[in-house]
Amino acid sequence: MNDSRPNAGRGLAGAGFMLVGATLIQWSAAIVLPAFALLGPSATSGWRFLLGAIVLVALSRPKVAHYSARQWRAALALGVTTALMNQCFYQAIARIPLGGAVAIEFLGPFSVAALGKRTPRHLALVLVAAAGVVALSRPGGGLHLTGVLWAGGAGLFWAGYVFSSHRVGGTTAGFGGLAVSMSIAALVTLPFSMGAWGPIALDPAVLGRLALVATIAVVAGFGAELSGLRRVRPHVAGVLMAADPAVAFLVGWGLLGQRVTPLDLVGMGCVVLAGALVTLDTAVGEGELAQ
d(CA 130, CA 7) in angstroms, rounded, equals: 28
Asked if the model's pLDDT at residue 256 lies above 80, the reply is: yes
Torsion of the alpha carbons at 238, 26, 258 and 41, rounded to the nearest 10: -110
Position 248 scores a pLDDT of 86
pLDDT tens string 199-232: 888 888 899 999 999 999 999 999 998 888 888 7
Asked if the model's pLDDT at residue 54 lies above 90, the reply is: yes
d(CA 235, CA 225) in angstroms, rounded, equals: 14
Q: Could you state, in order of their start, the residue ranges of all structural domains in the chain?
A: 8-283
pTM score above 0.95: no
d(CA 211, CA 193) in angstroms, rounded, equals: 13
pLDDT band at 89 (very low <50, low <70, confident <90, very high): very high
d(CA 78, CA 163) in angstroms, rounded, equals: 8
pLDDT band at 194 (very low <50, low <70, confident <90, very high): confident
**Residues 110 and 129 sit within 8 Å (Cβ to Cβ):** yes
What's the 3-state SS for 11-24?
HHHHHHHHHHHHHH
d(CA 213, CA 259) in angstroms, rounded, equals: 24
Position 31 scores a pLDDT of 94
Alpha helices in 241-261 (DSSP H): 243-256
Position 3 scores a pLDDT of 45
Question: Mean pLDDT, to the nearest integer, of 159-182?
Answer: 87
d(CA 80, CA 104) in angstroms, rounded, equals: 21
**Amino acid at site 35:** A
Asked if the model's pLDDT at residue 1 lies above 50, the reply is: no
